[in-house]
Amino acid sequence: MNYSLVNKKVLLVAPQFFGYEQEIRGEIERRGAQVDFLLDRPFTSPFLKAVTRWRRQWVMGAAERYYAEHTDLAADYDYVFVVNGQTLSASVLQGWRQAFKRARFFLYMWDSFGNRQDVVDNLRYFDHAFTFDRGDAERHAIHFRPLFFSSGFESGADAPVQWDISFVGTAHTDRYAVASKVAAQLGSQVRSYWYLFLQAKWVYWLYRAINPGFRRARLSDFRFDPLTKADVQRVFFGSAAVLDIEHPRQTGLTMRTLETLGARKKLVTTNASVKSYDFFSPNNICVIDRAHPVVPVDFLQTPYIDVDPVIYQRYRLAGWMDEILEKELA
């Protein structure tokens, strides 16, 4: 389809997340649009990011000042495209709808409403709303559209394999406990790479105090420097399989799942809902129980089988953008 945005003006609001906000911006610009960008979460410190998640109301005054100072209300936007919108208040959205009268407003949720409950009340300000979570789509009568992978996850699919399985991700909720169980079950005969990230050492000590899954965790089990997307891609390309552990309150597929598809790597995941997707194959995807994970060693040793090219195209960033724009431009 590749819908054109030539001579269109777009306001994009998205969180900083491993450069994906720039990937989305680049795809919109590739289609011919002029893009103005605002941060969905205009805070950079781990502490304020945590506050935004758990006590959103504490940061909303600062967020509203940010949008007031950085939004050109005289701009003649054709589209306002919001990813998550966790610090966009009703008053900001009302002001934008009044200022940008001819603009069409899009919302895409790449987090579950269970983690972003405040956003539900803002759905009325959008002409088209999408979510990566099938359950949320059904509950709130909005469009279901899974996530995507960017082109960087395609380029090294033929790289030599260094590890049988790898995990790269933030060690929130029970991820450390699940990853530890997988590592223990597979044993030392399996080549593995684990990168369990925490934003700061104080986060480790906090989790030790409040998270039962961290009671046996050692500080040395974690890394405190985030990997770049290029680093993550190198780990993917050097792995036969990638471990994915979704948030316990999430049913939508993680970005990691789609990146694994893009890199043509096998997936080991705790998310059983992956079985309902069009790219699922038991040859390529092993679903494990997060309480008692078992990964068959022969699953890691058999080759990956390519999915249908039409399905593969759907999960590229371009396919994701086409499916969203189709609701307005088709």
Q: In the chain, where are the structural domains located?
A: 9-148+316-329, 151-313
- In this prediction the pTM is 0.87
Class of domain 151-313: alpha beta
Pick 115 or 14 by higher pLDDT: 14
Burial of 179 (0-12, 13-18, 19+ CB in 10 A): buried
Single-letter code of the amino acid located at 148: F
Query: What's residue 50's pLDDT?
Result: 58
Pick 250 or 254 by higher pLDDT: 254
pLDDT in tens, 267-305: 999 999 999 999 999 999 999 999 999 999 899 999 999
Phi, psi of 295 (to 5 degrees): -110, 110
pLDDT higher than threshold 80 for residue 44: no
**Average pLDDT rounded to a whole number, residues 51-65:** 67
Q: What is 9-148+316-329's CATH topology?
A: Rossmann fold (3.40.50)
Q: How sure is the predictor about 56, in pLDDT bands with cuts at 50, 70 and 90?
A: low
State the Cα–Cα distance between residues 153 and 191, nearest whole angstrom: 22
Average pLDDT in the chain: 91
Supply angle C-alpha 270, 274, 280, rounded to 5: 125
Assess whether the region 9-148+316-329 and the region 151-313 belong to the same CATH fold.
yes
Give the SS3 label for residue 178.
helix
Q: How sure is the predictor about 154, in pLDDT bands with cuts at 50, 70 and 90?
A: confident
